[in-house]
Amino acid sequence: MRRTALLACATLLTGLLPLAANAAQAADDPAPVPVDRFEGEVPFADPPAGGLFTWGSDTDDHPALTLRARPDAPEGDKVLAGTYDISGWGGFTHDFAFAEPAHDWSAHKGVRLWWEGHGTGRSIAFELKDGGANGEASELWTTSFADDFTGWKQIELPFSAFTYRTDYQPVGGIDQILGLTETWGYALTLPVGLKGEFSMDGVELYGRADQSRRVSVTTDAAVHPVEEGGTATVGLTLGTLGGAPTDEPVTVSYETAATGGAEPGKDFTPVSGTVTFPAGTPSGTTRTLRVSTLRDDAAEHAETVAVRLTVTGAKAPAEDPQVVIDAHGLPYLDPKLPVAKRVADLLSRMSLEEKAGQMTQAERGAVTAEPGDIAAQGLGSLLSGGGSTPTPNTPEAWARMIDGFQLRAQAGRFQIPLIYGVDAVHGHNNLVGATVMPHNIGIGAARDPGLARRTGAVTAAEVRATGVPWDFAPCLCVTRDERWGRSYESFGEDPALVESMETVIQGLQGRADGSDLDRDDKVLATAKHFVGDGGTAFGSSTTGSYTIDQGVTKVTREELEAVHLAPYQGAVDRGVGTVMPSYSSLDLIGDGRGPVKMHARADMINGVLKDRMGFDGFVISDWAAIDQIPGDLASDVRTSVNAGLDMIMVPYAYKDFRTTLIAEVRAGRIAESRIDDAVARILTQKFRLGLFENPYADTSGAAAVGSAAHRAVAREAAAKSQVLLKNDGGLLPLRKSQKVYVAGSNADDIGNQTGGWTITWQGASGDITPGTTVLEGLREAGGDVTWSKDASAPTAGHDVGVVVVGETPYAEGMGDVGNGHDLELSAVDKAAVDTVCAAMKCVVLIVSGRPQLLGDRLGDIDALVASWLPGTEGAGVADVLYGRRPFTGQLPVTWPKSEAQLPINVGDSAYDPQYPYGWGLTTGGKVPGGGAATLRALGVAAAAAERAGADGAGRALAAKARLIVQAKAGQHITAALAKPFAEAEHLVLTGRYGAAVAKLTVAYRAA
C-alpha cells in the first residue's frame, strides 16, 4: 500500500477557519513586525542555513519557487511566486538559520500574509515551528485558510487558531505548548490533485497578545456517552502558557440544546449556568458540569444533547461537547443473537447515507482537523498509513488515539464502531519498540509453517494491545521478478511455498470460523494483493517513476490459476476476513480485454473470489487505488463497487467519495442490493471482532509489546531465515576462540536490517527502533570481535572476517530496480568485501530484500549467507553464525547470476542460476553417505510416506536427499543440476515426496 510518514500533511486541515482580512489595527496595538518581504532578503537555502526550501512526497511534488517582480505587489516590488502539481504532499518552508537564535513572536496576536487567490476553494495549511533545537527539530502547530477568493487579500492567522499536530511531529513533541518564544519558521502545504500557481507577499506579525492566547479552556472529551437514565459529567480544564496562574477571571457559560433527536424534559433535563475560574486560578484546575438523562424504557437509537459553551477571557474549546444517550433495546445490540440476525436488523434500520459511510475508509490525519466527520459522515473505518502515528509513538498513545476516534463514532445514530487498520506486515512495524519480525521473504526461507503462525500471533497480540483490530497482512503475492520493490513482502516465487506459510493467518485471526476474533490478542487479517501483483512485467508500470510495481501482469488463464490465484483459495479456506485487490493490471491472454486494473475486474473479484472461492469477508481497496481506474470519480466509484469492492480506502477524499457513491446509487447506476451486500460483509466482521460490545482498546496486553517472550519468537525466526549458500572448508559455525573482524554497512544498523515498512513507509537507516543489530548479537554471543564499518582498521591478527553488506530500506515501487536501485552491492560494500576477504578467511552476509549480484567476487568469499531482512533481533543471526542453532534455511527465490537472467523462477524451461530455488546448506549434522544407493532407498521410502500421508516423514526423507546433492555439487551448480533441484523443492511443498527424490536423483547425476 502506498504510504508515507508525512502523508497527512497534504490535506490535514480541511476545515476552514473564519479569517479576518484587512482588519483595522487597534489603537494600542504595536506596529507590525516584518518577517518576509520577499525582496531578495531571504535566500533559497536548505537547513541548517536559513532560507526558503521546498519539499514533497517525491521530486515531482516539490513546488517551484521564484521571486517575481510584480507592479501590483502588496509590499515592495517583488512577491514569492510558485507553481505546483502535487499528487502526494508538498509545500515549502522558511526556516530560520540553526546557527542563530530562535525568534520570539510571543508578544503578538498572530501572523498575516498577502495571498493572491484563484478561487479554487481549496485549503492551504500554514504551519509554525515552535520550540526545540532548530527548525527541523521543533514542534509543529498548524491552521489553514481557504483559497475561496480572487486577487490579493491579506490573511490574518491568530495564534489562538493554531492547533498542535497530532498526526506527525518530527521529535515526538516537546511540551505541546505554543510558547512562541522560540519560533524557528513557518511552512505552507499546498493543495493536492490540483495543478496551479500561487503568489504571496508581506509575511508579518501583527497585534498584541492577549490572555486568550495564553489561557485556554478544554473539555475532557468531545463526546460523552451515557446510558439512558444516567448522568453525564463534562470536565472543563483551565490551561495556561507556562503554567502560570491567570491574570484575569475566566468564565464559561453553558446551556443544553437538543440537536440530535433528544427532547428536553423527555430525554434529558435541561441545564444552564456559569462556571468561573477567578483571577489567580492555577493552570490545570478542573471544574465539572452535569447533564442528567431520563429513562422512558422504549427501544431506540442514540440521541444527542449539545452543551453550548461561551468562554470569556480564554480560548474556547475547539468544539462544544455532546452528551449521547446510548442506543438501547434494539436487536442488533444483543450479543446473544447470531451475528447474521444482528447484521440483518442493523442493516434494515440504516439509511443509504449511513450505509455509504460504512463503505468509506479515511486516513487518520484527514479527520484530525474535523473529527466530527466520523459521526457526521458515518465513517466505517480509519487507517494509519505507513508512518502515520500518534505523538508520542507509544502503545499508550496509540490506544488513546484510537479510543478518541471510537468515542466520536458513538455520536452516530446507531453507534457503529470504527474498524481501524494498519499495515503490520512484519510485526507492529509502525510502533517504536514493537517486535519486528523478518520480512516475509525471510519467513519463506525458514520453511516452518508453525513458526509462521507464531510470528502472526505475536504480531496480532501487539497490534490489538494498541487498540487496532485489523491488519493489512499477509501479502500472498508470488514474487516472480527480483527487480520488484515489494519482493521482500512475498514468501517466495513458488505458490506452493506461499500457501505453506498461510498459517500466519491463523496466527493473526485464530480459528477459521472467526470465533477467536473478539479475543484481545487477535486481529482481522487481509490477504493481499488480489491478484497477480508479483507477476508484473518490468517496464510496464505507469505510476510515476516506478518500473515494475503497479504494472501489468500478462499471463494465460492457466498460469494465473496455477501461480497467482492458488494461494487465495487456501486463505479463504482459512477464514481470512478481508481481501485487498492489487494496484496492478491483469492482462489475460486471449480474453480480448487487454490490461484492466484489478480494482475494476468484476470477473475476478465477484466471479472468482466471492462466487467461486466462496469468500464471505469484505474486500477493501488499496490506498486511493480507485483513482487509477480510467474515468472520472463517478466512473471510478461505480466501476469499483460494482466490481465487488466493499470498502474503499480514500485517505483524504472521503467526503467526495461518499457523496458520489450516494449519487450513483440514487441514479440507479449502483444497485442498493450491492450496497447492502457490502455493508453486511463489513458489519459481520465488526460483530465478530466484538467491537459493538468493546469498541475501546483493551490494553491488558500492552506490557508484552516488545517483550522478551515476543522477541524470542522473532529471534528464532531470524535464525531460521538465514540461508547458508556457501561454506568452503566448514568455516561456519564460528568458534568463540576465534578473533573475528566485523565490517560492512549493515552490521550495526537496525534500520537497514529491518528494511522498509519499519516505523515509516519507506523505512530508514539508523537507530530507528529498539533492537539488536548483527554486530551486537555477535558481541553478546561472547566472541572476540573487532568492529570497523569500512574495514579501515588493521586486519592483521584476526582469524576470520564477517562482512555484513546489502541494501538500504525502501518500499513498494520506490524500491524498483531502475528507480534509483539495482541489484549490485554499493561501492563501499564491495570495497569492504574485497579488503576483508583478501586479508583472511571471510563470511559475507547479504542483508537485503532480494538477491544481490556478486559476480566474480564469489570465488573470494569462503562462506556466503543470505540474511534477508531479519528484523530487530540480530542475535538470531549470531545464533547460527556461532552454532547455537544450525543453519536450516532454504532459498525462497532463485538467486540469479546476472540481471539479464531476470525474471528467473522454478519451472522455467531455461534455468541456470547462481543458486537454485530451495538451495540451503546446513550446519546441523552430517550429510548421509552412500551416494546413489542411498538416494534410491530414500526414494522408495519417500514414495511410501507419500502414499501413507506421512508428510513429516516425507519432508525429512527429501531433505536428506537434498543434502546429498548439495554435498556432491559444492559450488559447481550447472543448469542440468539446478533445474531438477529447484523442481524437487516444489514437489516437496506439494506433498509429492517420491517424485521429489526422483528429481533430486537426476540432479545428483548431473553434479
For residue 167, give the 3-state DSSP assignment. coil
For 315, phi then psi, to 5°, come to -75, 130
Segments of the chain with pLDDT less than 70: 1-27, 172-173, 242
Q: Hey, how many other C-beta atoms are within 10 angstroms of the C-beta on 298? A: 8
For residue 89, the model assigns a pLDDT of: 87
Q: Hey, how many other C-beta atoms are within 10 angstroms of the C-beta on 153? A: 18
Cβ atoms of 821 and 810 closer than 8 Å? yes
Per-residue pLDDT of 869-885, as tens digits, reads 999 999 999 999 999 99
* Nine-digit cell string for 819: 528507480
Residue of 359, 511, 469 lying closest to 693 (CA atoms): 469
For residue 209, the model assigns a pLDDT of: 84
Query: What is the β-pairing status of strands 618-619 and 578-581?
Result: parallel
Beta bridge partners of 723: 866
Query: Which residue in this structure is represented by grid cell 455532546?
Result: 322
Q: What is the DSSP string of 610-660?
A: IIIS---SEEB--TTGGGGSSS-HHHHHHHHHHHT--BEE-SS-HHHHHHH
For residue 170, the model assigns a pLDDT of: 84
> Alpha-carbon distance 98 to 102, whole Å?
8
174 Cβ contact list (under 8 Å, min separation 6): 131, 132, 138, 139
For residue 26, the model assigns a pLDDT of: 56
For residue 5, the model assigns a pLDDT of: 30
* Nine-digit cell string for 233: 459529567
Question: What's 358's DSSP letter?
Answer: H
- The amino acid present at 129, given as its one-letter code, is K
Residue positions annotated with a catalytic role: 622, 812
pTM value is 0.87
* Nine-digit cell string for 484: 520488484
Per-residue pLDDT of 49-70, as tens digits, reads 999 999 998 888 999 999 999 9
For residue 277, give the 3-state DSSP assignment. strand
Query: What is the β-pairing status of strands 110-118 and 215-219?
Result: unpaired
37 Cβ contact list (under 8 Å, min separation 6): 75, 76, 201, 202
Between the alpha carbon of residue 533 and those of residues 58, 185, 548, the distances in Å are 23, 43, 10
For residue 998, give the 3-state DSSP assignment. helix
Q: Hey, how many other C-beta atoms are within 10 angstroms of the C-beta on 938? A: 26
- CA 773 to the chain's CA centroid: 23
For residue 241, the model assigns a pLDDT of: 76
Cβ atoms of 490 and 478 closer than 8 Å? yes
Question: What's 918's DSSP letter?
Answer: T
> Alpha-carbon distance 433 to 490, whole Å?
24
